[in-house]
Structure 1
Amino acid sequence: MIIPQVITYTTTNSELVQIAGLHAYIEYNEEDTIRLAASSFSVYDTNYNHPTGLDALTLQNVNTGEFIMAFVGTNVHAEHGMQDLKTNVRLLNEPTPPQLRAANEYYLQMQAELAKSGHSISYVCGNSLGGALANSVAVKNPEVKSVTINPALLPSGLVVQDAEYPNITNYISQYDILNLSIRAGQLDHRVPGNQYDIYHGIPSLEALGPNHTGYVRQNGQHVPYYESGEPGTIDYVKIYMDAHEHIVTSIWTGEPLYGGRSIPIRIDREHLLKLGDGLETKVIERLKRTQTYINSSVAIVEAEGADIDKRLNTLRTVFQEMIRRETNQLLNEKNRRLKEMVAALHTILNQLETRCRSLNYVLNSPPMELFEFLARKDISVESICQEIRNKLYELEDMVDRLTDGLHNITMDRLAEVLRGGQNKFYDFVVGELKSHLYIVQQNQERAITQLSEYQSQVVATGEKFHLLDLSLSQRKSISSALNLSDVLKTSAVQLEESPYLMMHMRIKKIAVAAATTTFKQSTNPIISGITSSLDFILRTIETLGNSARFSINTATNLALYGNVPGLAMSLFSDYDTRVKNAVNNALYPLDDLLETIKGIRNGLSALRDNYPTLVDELRPYIDSAIFSKQRFQNVTLYNTAACSILKEMELLFNDIVYQLSHNQGKAIKALQLTGNSVRQNMGKLEEQLERGTLYG
């Protein structure tokens, strides 16, 4: 027969973590009372503002009479706060810093004082630097138990490598930046004792502080949850963060379920009813919080799906602005400016024709009666102007093609980026997340239903234990006294498999990369082809314009300087002045035309040459269009919080199933089998939720 473990109530690790991460940072006075859920602690002594930076206080558990020494972590605002910073740096070295020596001196001082009344310090605790202080005391004084939350490391000279230090327990939050760095630097052997990872914290830069201390404080006050965004909006996030809630303990003994199996207990009516109560308060309530997180995650995804037009329109606006910027405002809405410039070219061409006719009139107006032998000179650019006009018509047609091409890119091709380079969903990431989370949501509801039935089965089995005494008096076994027909049965629960989110939350990064590449590959030929055709037409117009310039200059030079009579005529009249003025008038619109053509060419060439780079610059906006960055982060935060609870419940059910396995009664065996089914479903639900986390 298994003898039930005798449990003597003591200060729990959860309470010590709460004192270390939360209450140690509050400056108390002697005889103040700290009230936790199940215990009260009286402040027996304080040791603040020590020259080394040491801040500590000694408490007494009012319920048990035990004494606890809590060390405060880094507090730069304290009177000697700068000493904390120096101590943190010195922890990397071999010698023991003065603050650690002061911590041990305070411990020995209080031990001596308490010994006079027959008491002693049972526990030391702390967070961060406070955790290092607590552990340094426990290393030197193995009779005291140290419990820390995310402690700093100890100096190398204070820790014996490979020593076990069974009196030290360190709880490490999964997203604690300090211990992630310690482990990355392979220095975790300098955090002595047992290190137990707990599923506390969220992967958010805004939560670095709470991830480390274990608790959220706002304006000096404890708030049990992390929050961001505006309350009442879909972007408001609320996740409970108290570290002590993430230390998984046995429903029966209250002992933390880390570092090996708990001691077997005897399964009787009392323990079954305790299990039933624990399932109600420790499991079902926690899973309802998980359900809230999942529902919030689903609501965010649905809101993002409803905002599809807004996401696309924002992307289109950014793309159009990039086109404007790249072409120096040449290609604005519907290319109106470019069309206006082409229309202006027609006007300039009309001016050119008119002024060339005026130039011809001047060239052919010398006093012919004096110089009958002077050959007449003509400026003939009509044919050139007609060729230019024909090219302008071609230019207009090609600009229309460019307008249509850009419209197609902006409206249709940009919309395709939401597919993320595949054809499964039009709004790929939203669709994938929504489909997956709907399945998770349904599975979560089934899991809670199964747990509720299981809790009823456990309680019913416990109530049947009154038959045990009668059976034993008749010398029957538990197996015969409690059979399956005596207790409530639970229905088998099969969770639905999800074929979605198999790439986990990397799906968005993959989708953004594929969408950007696909968009670039499908649109670059359009831009390159049309702008190259436009450039050819513009080059042709430039050639024709230069031919017109050559004709004007050649004919003018012949008229003024090409022969002696002409030269003589220029000497005794204002003929040369009138010719030069007419030439300048003719060349001005031609220069304007060529300069305008050059500007158009430069703008279009910049777009053609830099378009691939422009699409690369568009990538962050494609990212936001596929799924808003903040909302995507919020989904992962909720999924992470829900997944953490499921991991903890799976750990709890490992212990439940283990304890039930020691009894061979049929009813207890049935509870074990159902408990194992619950555990497996927890694991499946956890795996599905983990796909929706950044680290899944």
Structure 2
Amino acid sequence: MTTIRDVSNTNDSDLVELAGYHSYKHYEVTSNISVNGKRFDVLHTKYNSSSGLDALTIQNFETKELSIVFVGSEQLDKDWLETNTTLIGKVPPQQILDAKTYYQQMNDKYGPISSVSGNSLAGALTNAVAMENPKVKAVTLNPAILPFGMVDSSKEYPNITNYYSKYDFLTGTEESLGLGDRIPGNKYGINNGVPLFSMLGSNHTGYVEADENGEFKIEVGIKGQPGHGFIYIGADDHIVTSLWTGSPLYGGQTEKIVLNKENMLLLSNGIRDQVKGRITNVQSYLNNSVSIVLDESMQFSNRVTVLQQTFQAMFDEAAGDPLYNGISNTGTILKGCIDYLISLLDSAESKCRILNSILNSKPAEIIEFITSINIDVESLFAPAREYLNQLKDDVDNLVNGAQIIIQTHIPELFKGGKDMFVDAIVGELNAHYSIVHKNKEAVHNQLTNYETQVKDIATSMFNKDQNLGSSIQSGKSLADGVDTIQKTEIMNIDTSPYLTIGMKIKEIQVELAHKQITSLVTTIVHPIVDRIYTVALMIESAVSAIIFSVKAALNVGLYGNPISLLISIFTDYEEKVKAAVNNALVPLEEIETIAETVRMGSGSLSANLPEMLQNFKPYLDTAIFEPGKFDDVRLYNISTLAILDEMELLFNDIIFQLSGEKAKAIEATLEISKNVLNNIQLLKEQVNRGTL
């Protein structure tokens, strides 16, 4: 029969915390270490040795078990350069030899060493010692490899247990390089840590600095804002053990136990302390996820408005010219500029009429009669005026097109999801979480009833035993009364039709929305911008033709023949013509310059629109669901999934232990256990969608 665990004994969870956290604290002799409610006294320390070996020997205050805890890499020269770099080779570094010596010294001095432990480099030291001492228990967390040839592949080393953190870089690299056979013993993956680059170090050691309550947790979000909370990452909290024996539940089925009153009470207490304790964290994590989603939902109008304003600002800036400021809203500046160009054209036309009156005066009529040259420029203004009016219409169309995109189409970028939600990602998550929230509450309530049912069965076993004893002593028959036992209902939690492609739904929504806005700008706005460029160029050409004609009139009127020269000598005719020409050229040349500016601005806008749209994508991503908050939702889901995975392990063992029993109460409990496991697995699948 399997021995029921003594909760005072030094177990794997204790050794993992000692290896990953306390070993790095450099305790002095006589210090007390508190681990999982147990006290350990420091009997001996070894720091600053010539090889770099650091270690401490501790004793479980209650059970008197002795343990050696080796310290992982801290020193650049002795640990990293002289030891870690040599593990890949064949020759054991001095620290391994010193670790074996230290173990023997402590074993001789204080008595039999029960266990050794270590993290990283210290894990390699631990395993080196344990391979030569098969009676000592060895527990490592994310151990380094041993030198080539040290591990005998034909041996199993059952006394060694190595725990690999899910997001540890060292063990992941070792296994991917095919070096896993240089880590002896059993290897079990545990779900501690979080996939954040900032947590690289703590994912390896398994711990962050403990808070004032001795809890190992990281903060998520900003205090005072929705979704703010903590995730518990201590590696020892994620080692799943049998509720009865305390043995890790990773190496297959545990040994069968006798289902008596004591063991049923252990099951009841385990459900209360381990399972419901885990489900409490599940509730906290999921509630924080829901808070983030609900807050994003409440911010929908603001998110849309900010995205509209961002698009408007980026569109206006794309031209790189002040004339285009506000072009996506009212276009007031550019429209005013065109009105000014029209007024300049009117002024130039008026001045050209004056020029014509001078050119058509008596001397000019004589010149015209003699030369038969028509120098009238008035007819040249009609095309330029037509182009300016067309330009004004095009600017109106550009403003209207931009406004249609901003006011009508940008809000539609948020639509989508299974039910075509107005706010696709938030709507999809909200619909999914409403089902998940209901399910996790149902599972929690079922576990509460389950705990009570198991406790009632244990009590009933005790009462029947007592009644049987009393009956034997008194000679009377057993009482017919039956104890009342809590009935736990068989139930099936709801399925969810949402988030079927996981968290990729946001990436897909952003891509679709970006393609949509790109298409809209390309089909609605871009052609108008290009047309403005063309019309502005035509205005320049038309004005250039007018300027050319005016200058030509000057040359013909004054220097075209000997008679005009003679008139210029004896009259002020030359001064009048030159003055009139200059007066006409001033507004025309200004029109030409401004039209060029308008053209260049539209050219820049056209050329910069693709880059503008690409730069707009991150703002679109933020508006659809703020990335940091979205990552926090995913982080909470990952942590929830880890717990549900652990609960699945526990219930698989519970079902194994309850199977094969003939007692009706145990059979009923077995059926409930299977139902609870099914619900946990379904809830796990639903939460997993929020991690993909």
TM-score by length of 1: 0.91
d(CA) in 2 for partners of 1:662 and 1:169?
30
Q: 1:596 to 1:162 in 2, by over 3 A?
A: farther
Whether 2:683 is the aligned partner of 1:685: answer yes
Q: 1:110 to 1:380 in 2, by over 3 A?
A: farther
Whether 2:251 is the aligned partner of 1:252: answer no
d(CA) in 2 for partners of 1:472 and 1:381?
130
Cα displacement (A) at 1:210: 2.5
d(CA) in 2 for partners of 1:371 and 1:416?
70
Alignment of 1:415-426 (within 5 A): 415-420=411-416, 424-426=420-422
Whether 2:80 is the aligned partner of 1:82: answer no
Matched with 2:586 is: 588
d(CA) in 2 for partners of 1:482 and 1:673?
26
Q: Secondary structure at the match of 1:210?
A: helix
Q: 1:485 to 1:47 in 2, by over 3 A?
A: closer
Q: Secondary structure at the match of 2:64?
A: coil
Cα displacement (A) at 1:36: 2.1
Aligned residues of 1:21 and 1:214 also touching (Cα < 8 A): yes
Whether 2:543 is the aligned partner of 1:545: answer yes
Q: Secondary structure at the match of 1:289?
A: helix
Cα displacement (A) at 1:169: 0.9
Which piece of structure 1 moves more, 606-615 or 667-676? 606-615
C-alpha offsets along residues 461-491 of structure 1, whole Å, 9 cap, x if unaligned? Answer: 111113146569999xxxx999999633211
Aligned residues of 1:512 and 1:626 also touching (Cα < 8 A): yes
d(CA) in 2 for partners of 1:155 and 1:318?
58
Matched with 1:289 is: 281
Matched with 2:464 is: 467
Whether 2:108 is the aligned partner of 1:112: answer yes
Aligned residues of 1:421 and 1:515 also touching (Cα < 8 A): no
Which piece of structure 1 moves more, 275-284 or 50-59? 50-59
Amino acid at match of 2:250: Y
Matched with 1:167 is: 159
Q: Secondary structure at the match of 1:156?
A: coil
Alignment of 1:89-100 (within 5 A): 89-100=85-96
Q: Secondary structure at the match of 2:142?
A: strand
Task: Pick the aligned partner of 1:331 from 324, 333, 341.
Answer: 324
Alignment of 1:219-298 (within 5 A): 223-298=215-290
Matched with 2:644 is: 646
Q: 1:440 to 1:491 in 2, by over 3 A?
A: same
Amino acid at match of 2:346: N
Cα displacement (A) at 1:571: 6.7
d(CA) in 1 for partners of 2:2 and 2:684?
33
Matched with 1:457 is: 453
Q: Secondary structure at the match of 1:69?
A: strand
Cα displacement (A) at 1:395: 1.9
C-alpha offsets along residues 184-240 of structure 1, whole Å, 9 cap, x if unaligned? Answer: 333333332211111112222233233221111179996421004332221523111
d(CA) in 2 for partners of 1:510 and 1:484?
60
d(CA) in 2 for partners of 1:362 and 1:314?
61
RMSD: 2.9
Amino acid at match of 1:546: S
Matched with 2:409 is: 413
Matched with 2:475 is: none
Q: Secondary structure at the match of 1:149?
A: strand
d(CA) in 2 for partners of 1:60 and 1:284?
32
Matched with 1:71 is: 70
The count of corresponding residues between Structure 1 and Structure 2 is 680
Cα displacement (A) at 1:137: 2.4
Q: Secondary structure at the match of 1:74?
A: coil
Cα displacement (A) at 1:20: 0.8
Matched with 1:633 is: 631
Matched with 1:386 is: 382
Q: 1:82 to 1:310 in 2, by over 3 A?
A: farther
Q: 1:687 to 1:422 in 2, by over 3 A?
A: closer
Whether 2:49 is the aligned partner of 1:58: answer no
Matched with 1:446 is: 442
Aligned residues of 2:18 and 2:35 also touching (Cα < 8 A): no
d(CA) in 1 for partners of 2:136 and 2:301?
63
Alignment of 1:601-680 (within 5 A): 601-680=599-678
Task: Pick the aligned partner of 1:513 from 502, 511, 514.
Answer: 511
Q: 1:294 to 1:16 in 2, by over 3 A?
A: same
Matched with 1:24 is: 23
Aligned residues of 1:252 and 1:274 also touching (Cα < 8 A): yes
Amino acid at match of 2:379: S
Which piece of structure 1 moves more, 25-34 or 536-545? 536-545
C-alpha offsets along residues 327-361 of structure 1, whole Å, 9 cap, x if unaligned? Answer: 11443322222212212212321332243244445
Q: 1:286 to 1:482 in 2, by over 3 A?
A: farther
Matched with 2:183 is: 191
Amino acid at match of 1:237: G
Cα displacement (A) at 1:138: 2.3
C-alpha offsets along residues 536-557 of structure 1, whole Å, 9 cap, x if unaligned? Answer: 4333323321221221122222
Whether 2:195 is the aligned partner of 1:203: answer yes
Which piece of structure 1 moves more, 295-304 or 586-595? 586-595
C-alpha offsets along residues 616-660 of structure 1, whole Å, 9 cap, x if unaligned? Answer: 221111111110001001101111111111111110011111111
Q: 1:25 to 1:236 in 2, by over 3 A?
A: same
d(CA) in 2 for partners of 1:569 and 1:182?
103
Aligned residues of 2:417 and 2:428 also touching (Cα < 8 A): no
d(CA) in 2 for partners of 1:482 and 1:50?
73
Aligned residues of 2:405 and 2:520 also touching (Cα < 8 A): no
Q: Secondary structure at the match of 1:431?
A: helix
d(CA) in 2 for partners of 1:137 and 1:4?
28
Q: Secondary structure at the match of 1:31?
A: coil
Q: Secondary structure at the match of 1:419?
A: coil
Aligned residues of 2:162 and 2:187 also touching (Cα < 8 A): yes
Q: Secondary structure at the match of 1:492?
A: coil
d(CA) in 1 for partners of 2:350 and 2:267?
103
Amino acid at match of 1:187: L
Unaligned runs of 5+ in 2: 473-477
Q: 1:422 to 1:464 in 2, by over 3 A?
A: closer
d(CA) in 2 for partners of 1:381 and 1:228?
76
Which piece of structure 1 moves more, 295-304 or 566-575? 566-575
d(CA) in 1 for partners of 2:36 and 2:540?
86
Q: Secondary structure at the match of 1:126?
A: strand
Aligned residues of 1:363 and 1:377 also touching (Cα < 8 A): no
Unaligned runs of 5+ in 1: none
Aligned residues of 2:358 and 2:364 also touching (Cα < 8 A): no
Q: 1:554 to 1:24 in 2, by over 3 A?
A: same
Q: 1:6 to 1:313 in 2, by over 3 A?
A: closer
Aligned residues of 1:323 and 1:331 also touching (Cα < 8 A): no
Amino acid at match of 1:544: A
d(CA) in 2 for partners of 1:243 and 1:550?
85
d(CA) in 2 for partners of 1:370 and 1:355?
23
Whether 2:207 is the aligned partner of 1:215: answer yes
Alignment of 1:118-197 (within 5 A): 119-161=111-153, 163-197=155-189
Amino acid at match of 1:15: D
TM-score by length of 2: 0.91
Q: Secondary structure at the match of 1:10?
A: coil
Matched with 2:337 is: 341
Q: 1:690 to 1:423 in 2, by over 3 A?
A: closer
d(CA) in 2 for partners of 1:571 and 1:218?
104
d(CA) in 2 for partners of 1:586 and 1:211?
79
Cα displacement (A) at 1:365: 6.6
